[in-house]
Amino acid sequence: MKRVLVTGVKGQLGYDVVKRLKLENTTFDVIGVDIDDFDLTNLEAVNSFITNLRPDIVVHSAAYTAVDKAESDSELCLAVNEKGSENIAIACKAINAKLVYISTDYVYNGLGDKPFEVSADVAPLSVYGKSKLAGELACKKHVDKLFIIRTSWVFGLNGNNFVKTMLRLGTERDTLSVVADQIGSPTYTPDLADFIAHLITTDKYGTYHFSNEGFCSWFDFAKEIFVKANIKTDLKPIKTSEYKTVAVRPLNSRLSKKSVYDSGYKSIPSWQDALGRYLKEIKS
């Protein structure tokens, strides 16, 4: 039985990775941890915890994810996403553990209209994007048995996300303006967790892109949420230039999933299918 340590268990992805791996209770012994268990930015604390536990695999999904706040809080963002990830990587190297590092489409410049391949040039636009790329590089520096998974537009049961925000605003307002010129793919955390469960049983190390199949704008996504949830709100499409945010958002967040299929993984569900399952999940 392989022991798996999952960081960020209180977050959207960490929660679902633990839930998914526990289904394979004869394959994986799963331990989920969060900020209360050790300080990611303290190498001694990280090393001590991980070397005592001696996991075979670490899924590192804990991160600083407040994209706008990161612009004025860059020191903490970098401490968590770069230094914290490096500390995890150093500890993994010491015990020869596999490492899964969760990254983001924000490592790209968001230009063009084609899906980014894993080999595409990286050029992050925001502090958050830069910190996640720095985390990738820090992990690469120390660990050979490394899986990097870049994902986008994540939604799950735990924590806040776009779907929950739309469901709330849809019942509070008669009209709503949503950005229609940022294009990407939503990612349902149980679907990503399933891919992680597949990947960690292999030695196919490298970088992967995972999101649900199909592309849409945030406006399209909101429209589908309201249709499926039967919410009658007047939706208006707007441009990114009309919706000011502190951090620059990529206009193109399309990710090519070729790497996922090349790993031997089965088909990825569409984002519409994922949304339907999620709405059922939060109802129950």
What is the set of active-site residues? 128
Task: Give the Cα separation of 63 and 181 in Å (integer).
Answer: 27
Whether 274 contacts 186, CB under 8 Å: yes
Give Cα separations from 180 to 117, 239, 241, 243 (angstroms).
23, 6, 11, 11
Exposure string for 213-244, b = 16+ CB within 10 A, e = fewer: eebbbbbbbbbbbbeebebebebebeebeeee
* Residue type at 172 in one-letter notation: E
Which residue is associated with the tokens 């951090």?
247
Comparing C-alpha atoms, which of 28, 256, 15, 46 is closest to residue 142? 46
Whether 103 contacts 149, CB under 8 Å: yes
Local structure of 125: helix, strand or coil: coil
Which residue is associated with the tokens 């899964």?
100
Measured at the alpha carbon of residue 116, what is the angle toward residues 93 and 156, in degrees to the nearest 5? 70
Whether 167 contacts 225, CB under 8 Å: yes
* Residue type at 78 in one-letter notation: L
